[in-house]
Amino acid sequence: MPTIVFIHPDNRSESIDAVVGESAMQAATGNGIDEIVAECGGNAMCATCHVYVDENWIGRLAAMGDEENALLDGVATERQPSSRLSCQIKIEQGLDGLVLRLPERQV
């Protein structure tokens, strides 16, 4: 089971066990990571599942699609080069140890 490390806005880190094949958003919401709102349930329509991917990991994720790229322009906190929508990050065994930083707010 890959472990995903979420860093809260207050720098507290929380490690959770994710399931291969689910999204990072599902791993977060299923494990009580409240900063991930995920209003649309993972359909790439709401941008309330925004995360900042740790710089050591950003290049190891699959490239984002046009839809995700467009939605990231509407996130509630500043978009950065490391910004991704967690519902579009598919968990694989190779992502064991992935570090995702949580923004201050999603709406």
What is the C-alpha to C-alpha distance for residues 4 and 57, in angstroms, rounded to an integer? 11
Assess 49 for contact with ligand FES (CB under 6 A): yes
Beta bridge partners of 53: 100
Q: Which amino acid is at 106?
A: Q
What is the C-alpha to C-alpha distance for residues 7 and 14, in angstroms, rounded to an integer? 6
Least distance between ligand FES and beta carbon 96 (Å): 22
Residue placing its CB nearer to ligand FES in the complex, 33 or 49: 49
Assess 18 for contact with ligand FES (CB under 6 A): no
Query: What Rg, from alpha-carbon coordinates, does the chain have?
Result: 12
Q: Which stretch binds ligand FES (CB under 6 A): 6-14, 32-40, 52-60, 99-107?
A: 32-40
Summarize as ranges the residues that interact with ligand FES (CB under 6 A).
Answer: 25, 38-40, 42, 44-49, 85, 87
